[in-house]
A and B are shown apart, each in its own frame.
Chain A
Amino acid sequence: MIPELGHFALVAALLVALLQVALPAFGVWRRDRRLMAVASSAAQTQFLLILFAYLCLSWAFVTRDWSVAYVAANSHSDLPLAYRISAVWGAHEGSMLLWVLMLSGWAAAVSVFNRRLPPDLAATTLAVLGAVGVGFLLFILLTSNPFERSFPVPADGRDLNPLLQDPGLVIHPPMLYMGYVGFSVAFAFALAALISGRLDAAWARWTRPWTTTAWLFLTCGITLGSWWAYNELGWGGWWFWDPVENASFMPWLVGTALIHSLAVTEKRGQLKAWTVLLAILAFALSLLGTFLVRSGVLVSVHAFATDPARGVFILTFLAIVLGIAFTLYAWRAPKFVSQADFALFSREGLLLLNNVFLVVAAFAVLLGTLYPLLAEALNLGKVSVGPPYFNAVFLPLTAPLAVLVGLAAAVGWKRAKPAEVWKRVRVPAALAVVAGLALPWALGHRTLLAAIAGGMLAIWVLLTAAQEIGRRVLAKRDRVQGLLQVPRAVWGMTLAHAGLGIWVLGVSFVSLYSVEKDVRLGPGQAAELSGYAFRFDGVEGRAGPNYDADHGRVEVSRGGRVIAELEPEKRRYRASGQVMTESAVDHNALRDLYVALGEPIDKARADGDWALRLYYKPMMRLVWWGGFIMALGGLIAASDRRYRLAQARETVAVRAEALA
């Protein structure tokens, strides 16, 4: 009964979504305020209906209702409660439900927080979000219904994919989807601007916190995904340039560009058409990612079970939504051209360059991801495009960005004098050069040119970020007062840039100085790696809630001093028979020591020799810390006072006067 109620709620949500498109659109056309106002209540109703459907599916998981095909396919009676709840998004159908739940959640949030937007703009924005919702609800109802029953009812479920039975994976997809879906708000604002033909500083100010919030979720999601892959896949890698990863990385790159171009649009009233294009593109790439992951056109490690019908549906939907958006763009965007003064050597000029590099980097990722498809379509044969390509192309396209970050902070809006800028940057630049040269040596690594360059860039980004705060504090007589008066937007920007610096440092060192070793060890034997001794203390059998494990023990010591007791596992999940490698990691800021358990050399004797994979990974943590600090920066920036209601009311009042 409850699954049927959930299904029914989805159908009702579809009807409400249709109203959310039609009535406000009609209202905007007839300038009827009451019809425009329907948008808000429709958005909120739609959200509640989808939430109800979502809870129904969760209920089916919690109560182990195997008559629901999706539940039976992705759960098992021994699955712990936490994973039964997260199993809702463990496969295609449920994850799409989570996706529309978030989409309607974002729309409901817009309806609540933006009550003081001009009514026609708010109505158009919500109508666009409603239209996107219609597409995804249809997609679920027509091709991917999670409430479908199966008869006869199986005796037990087939279990959740063991790869997904990990805390990292519990929060990674919701974060990622929040980001993907969140860009729909910027998209809707962009379309509203195109439709109304109005695009001013206030528009940018309304769009900025939404974009930043979506971006920070995406940043968290990607970082968590990387952390999960590192711990769970057992290959010690943290980024594989897999199509699924690229699908999340492209919207991130374009979203980052959008955040920066929105700043220019707000502060200087320029790059308007470009900002609108980026807002459309960020969401377009989110849709594209959905298509790539769920249609099976590309081969990926983490692809969903695919079905050509779903691919055709998403492709059609994508073509319609983006076709309308880009047509509107071609028609209306030329209106937004501004002829005001624009100097290259100014903050907006450097932000323009930042956009160029970010967007070209996103293009490179897109090209590499789609090239196998392109080559096949053009009958050029099969090609594989993998990490060696992406690393080779991506690096030269993004290294200039790190230089720009520090420089732009030192350059004012409108126009800057090179001599003054030089005075500001020469100290951090000099310090960065010295620190970059010293770092590999100080950490006991061999000297590599790439590591020096990476270190220099990282330190440069960090120092110039700190300098931004320092300059603001020193400008005031009362330093404490000065510190308190630094706006959150600036704190957020500084933190995000500092996160980037930390990330660059981590990536440079971990990619250049990692050491890996495959060894064969018997109980009591030890292997040496980068000055650490790994002693294998054997394997014992252990039973988990829904798996049996070979539980290994490895003692790590250095110079006779014990550093860590690592316990890698090999789990065999009972229901599916799948085997998972649970790596064990000892970490601090400077290095990770990583052990993964392989196979017993003699399959019949678990107490004999085992194959083990050992890694020494310097500064691995910085990669994730950097990501989370960037996200934290986004959070602080999005909470800046001037985006909040009191301010919004003022600007609307000003606008109303201007219009009167």
Chain B
Amino acid sequence: MKRGTLKSRLAPVALLAGLLLALPGAPLRAAELDAEQQARYQTLINELRCLVCQNQTIADSNAPLAADLRQQVETQIRAGRSDAEIKRYLTDRYGDFVLYRPPFKAKTWLLWGGPFVVLLIALGVALRFVRARRAAPAATAVDAAALRQVLADEAGDDARRPPENRS
């Protein structure tokens, strides 16, 4: 029931946000920022989540709230705040949920570290698998060498020339 009411409340907002893909007027003024500020502005608005939208950055969304947040980001950049300060300003109000780049802390170490830990484990398992199957084949190695010799003989003159001249 709670779910239904929330959705009906958000429905008009979501329509505005997700479907009326109108472009916002707000970033227009951002053109007045200098190049370095402009770059920071673009990076920031592409890493911040529009809270009322389905799954969009405030750069992509046309929801009024997204426009407000873009405005905030721009104003604060102009006022000389650092990226960290601006993000802090937003997380104080909306929580870590606004950050599309989750901060590295206790509750996200699994997220950031997980893939690389799993990669190490997977590489370890693969190497062990290979090592377990490497010990026996002294005979096959000889066979392979012999085979190469035979093949080389068969291939004729071309193959017997020194390799440097071959290609």
Contact = CB atoms under 8 A, between A and B. Distances in A.
A–B contact via C-beta, under 8 angstroms: yes
Nearest to A581: B21
Interface stretch (A42-50, A326-334, A512-520): A512-520
B19 interface: yes
A604 to B, nearest CB: 15
B115 A579 contact: no
Interface in B80-125: 95-102, 107-108, 110-112, 114-115, 118-119, 122-123
A297 interface: no
A374 B108 CA distance: 11
Contacts of A596: 23
A56 B53 CA distance: 37
A423 B133 contact: no
Contact of A235 (B31, B60, B97, B107): B60
A357 B115 CA distance: 10
B144 interface: yes
Interface in A254-275: none
Interface stretch (A375-383, A455-463, A632-640): A375-383
B100 A341 contact: no
Contact of A368 (B47, B111, B144): B111
B60 A341 contact: no
B23 A597 contact: yes
A383 B21 contact: no
Interface string B22-51: 111101101100000000001000110100
Contacts of B137: 341
A243 B47 contact: no
Contacts of B99: 383-384
Contact of A578 (B19, B25, B136): B19
A18 interface: no
A590 interface: no
Given A303-B54, A344-B130, A363 B96 contact: no
B32 to A, nearest CB: 12
Given A356-B126, A367-B114, A233 B21 contact: yes
Contacts of A579: 19-22
B167 to A, nearest CB: 8
Interface stretch (A9-17, A78-86, A112-120, A386-394): A386-394
Given A301-B18, A356-B126, A415-B144, A612 B23 contact: yes
Contact of A611 (B23, B54, B115): B23
Name the interface size band of chain B: 35 or more
B100 A387 contact: yes
B115 A386 contact: no
A613 B118 contact: no
B15 interface: yes
A35 interface: no
Interface string B49-64: 1000111110110000
Contact of A343 (B25, B57, B134): B134
A656 interface: no
A339 B31 CA distance: 65
Contacts of A301: 18, 53-56
Interface in A290-326: 299-303, 308
Interface string A211-255: 000000000000000000000011101001011000000000000
B100 A385 contact: yes
Contacts of A342: 129-130, 133-134
Interface of A: 162-163, 233-235, 237, 240, 242-243, 299-303, 308, 339-344, 349, 352-353, 356-357, 359-361, 363-364, 367-368, 371, 374-375, 380-389, 392-393, 397, 414-415, 423, 516-520, 570, 578-581, 596-599, 601, 611-613
Q: Top 4 A-B pairs ranked by shortest CB distance?
A: A598-B23, A386-B100, A388-B101, A364-B115
Given A301-B18, A301-B54, A387-B57, 15 more contacts: A163-B19, A233-B60, A342-B130, A344-B127, A353-B123, A356-B122, A357-B119, A384-B97, A386-B57, A388-B101, A389-B112, A397-B119, A581-B22, A601-B25, A612-B23
11 contacts: A233-B21, A235-B21, A237-B60, A243-B55, A344-B127, A360-B122, A371-B111, A393-B115, A570-B22, A579-B20, A599-B22
